[in-house]
Amino acid sequence: MEQLPLWAQVCAVFLLLFCSSFFSISETAMMALNRHRLKYLTTKGTLGAKTTQNLLSRTDQLLGVILIGNNLFNTIIPVLTTSIAIHTFGHDNLVLSIATGIVAFLIIVFAEITPKIVGATYPEKIALPASLIIAPLIRVLRPIVWFVNLFANAILSVLHINTKGGRDQRLSTEELRTIVLESGSFMPTKHRSILLNLFDLENISVDDVMIPRRRIEALDFDAPFEDILHQLETCYHNKLIVYQGDIDRVLGVLHVRKTLAALHNQELERETLRELLAEPYFVPSGTPVFQQLQYFQESRHRAALVVNEYGELQGLVTPEDIIEELIGEFTTSIPRSASSRSGWNEDGECIVAGSMPLRELNRWLHLTLPTDGPKTLNGLILEALEEIPEGDVCLQVSGVRLEVLRSDDQAVRTVKIFKPDVPNSAKPARTALD
C-alpha cells in the first residue's frame, strides 16, 4: 500500500467510506421498508421488489452480509489512515491521535449517521436497487455468513429467543385503525370513514343499531278492522310487525304490499290477514353485529326481532341498520326535509326526541356522545342527572350542551342540543349546569 501515491491512498479511504455507507444505508432502508407496500410492488413486477422480499424473508443472512461488510470496511479505514499518517508525518503520537479522531468523525458522519437518515427517509428507493447488489453478495459470502451465524444462533438459543416466531406478526384492530387514521391524503375521506366504522362494528351488538321497541311501527291484530285497514294504507314501511294485544306477543311479519294487493282482489278478513303473516325471526339481545349480518345472509331474512332473556321484545334490526353504521344514513323511518338534513339551525341548535338513539344522533349531528353506556339520549341524560328532571334543566355531556325542554314522570321527551364550538372529544366531562 505504501507504494501507491498519496492521492491514491486518500481516494482508497473515501472509496472504503462509500462502501461502508452503502451497507449502512441498505441496512436501514431494508428494515424501514413497508412490508405491505413491498408485497404490492412484488405483484406489480417492480424491479428489485421480489429480490428484496426474498432477502427480508432471510433476515439472518441479510444482516450477516450487511454487518460483515460494514464492519470490515470500518476496520480497514482506520488501519489505512494510520498507515498514511505514519508514512507522511512519521511516528508522532499527536499526529496519530488527530488522524484517529478525523477517521472516527468521517466514519460516524459519512458511513453511519448520514446514510442511515437517508435510508430511513427513502427506504423504497434505496432498498430495491440495493437488493440487486446484496443478493449476489450473499451467494458469494455464504460460507462466511454461515460460520458467523453459527455463533449468533448459538447465543440466541442460549437466551431462548425464537427468531422464526417473531416474523409472523399480526396487526391488531387498533394498529390497523392507526394506519387508516394516518393515511391522510392517501385515502379519500369517505373511504377512511367507512374503514373506521368497520373497525367499530367489532365492538358493538344489535342493541346498538336496532330500532328501539318504542319506535317500532307495529299492527295490533285485535284492533278494530277499520283501524287496521287505515294503518295498512298509510304506513310508511313495507313490512309491519303484527302482535296480539301486547307487542311482546308477536304473531308474525306482514308484507304490506301483498296485503294491499289481496285487499283489492278480494274481501280482506282477519283470518286472511293471519294467513299472510310470515314467521317472525328472533335474535337474542347482545348478538354481535358481524355475527347477525352473517345470520341475515344465511337465513335470507330482512328483519330480526331482538328479545331479552325473558323473551320481551327490545327492538328491531335490519341489514340496512347495520349497513348504515358503515356508510352513514341512507334510509330513515321518518323522511327528513331538505332543511333538516344537516340538523343544526341558524343559531346552532337542534331539537330532538329524548328517545333518539345516541349512535344515530352522533352520525346525524357529527357528535361524539358516549355510546358505551345508555343507548338513547334519554338514558344518557338520566345517567348524568341520576334522576328524572322536573322542568327545564341544562347539562353538559362530553362537551355538548343539552337542555331538557319537556319531560314527564317516566322519561325525557324533548331535548335541545347546542352545537359545540370545539371538538367535543376534547371535553369528556359530564357536568350539570345551573
Residues 371-387 have pLDDT tens digits of: 888 888 888 998 888 88
CA neighbours closer than 13 Å in the CB half-sphere of residue 224: 3
- Residue where one domain finishes, among candidates 327, 350, 372: 327
DSSP 8-state assignment for residue 108: I
- Convert the pLDDT of each residue in 199-220 to its tens digit: 877 788 898 888 888 888 899 9
Same domain flag for 78 and 123:
yes
Same domain flag for 92 and 31:
yes
> Is residue 138 within a helix (H) or strand (E), and if so which, with residue range?
helix 123-140
Same domain flag for 161 and 14:
yes
Has this prediction a pTM greater than 0.85?
A: no
Domain that holds residue 267: 204-327
Same domain flag for 359 and 416:
yes
Same domain flag for 302 and 352:
no
Same domain flag for 370 and 283:
no
- Is residue 21 a part of any domain in this protein? yes
Residue 424: predicted pLDDT = 45
- Is residue 176 a part of any domain in this protein? no
For residue 26, give Cα distances in angstroms to 16, 52, 59, 109, 141.
Answer: 15, 11, 13, 16, 17
Same domain flag for 12 and 146:
yes
Q: What is the CATH number of the domain that holds 217?
A: 3.10.580.10
pLDDT tier at 313, thresholds 50, 70, 90: very high
Q: What is the CATH number of the domain that holds 413?
A: 3.30.465.10
- Convert the pLDDT of each residue in 392-401 to its tens digit: 788 888 889 9
Same domain flag for 354 and 417:
yes
Residue 431 has pLDDT above 50, yes or no: no
Residue 429 has pLDDT above 60, yes or no: no
Which residues neighbour 258 within 8 Å (Cβ) at sequence distance 6 or greater? Answer: 276
404 close to 392: Cβ distance less than 8 angstroms:
yes
pLDDT tier at 20, thresholds 50, 70, 90: very high
pLDDT tier at 185, thresholds 50, 70, 90: low
- Is residue 89 a part of any domain in this protein? yes
How far apart, in whole angstroms, are the C-alpha atoms of residue 230 and residue 224? 10
Distance from chain centroid for Cα 415: 33
CA-only gyration radius of the chain, Å: 36
- Is residue 181 a part of any domain in this protein? no
Same domain flag for 295 and 352:
no
Same domain flag for 314 and 402:
no
Residue 422: predicted pLDDT = 55
- Is residue 423 a part of any domain in this protein? yes
- Is residue 255 a part of any domain in this protein? yes
Same domain flag for 25 and 153:
yes
What is the arithmetic mean of pLDDT over 120-136? 92
> Is residue 413 within a helix (H) or strand (E), and if so which, with residue range?
strand 412-418
Which residues neighbour 91 within 8 Å (Cβ) at sequence distance 6 or greater? Answer: none
327 close to 195: Cβ distance less than 8 angstroms:
no
Q: What is the percent of the chain where pLDDT is above 90?
A: 18
Give the full edge-to-edge strand order of the sheet including 313-317.
211-212, 313-317, 304-307, 282-284
- 239 bridge partner residues: 255
- Residue where one domain finishes, among candidates 301, 327, 353: 327
377 close to 314: Cβ distance less than 8 angstroms:
no
Same domain flag for 343 and 301:
no
- Is residue 193 a part of any domain in this protein? no
Paired sense of beta strands 304-307 and 282-284, if any: parallel
- Residue where one domain finishes, among candidates 305, 327, 349: 327
How far apart, in whole angstroms, are the C-alpha atoms of residue 270 and residue 276? 10
Overall domain count for the chain: 3
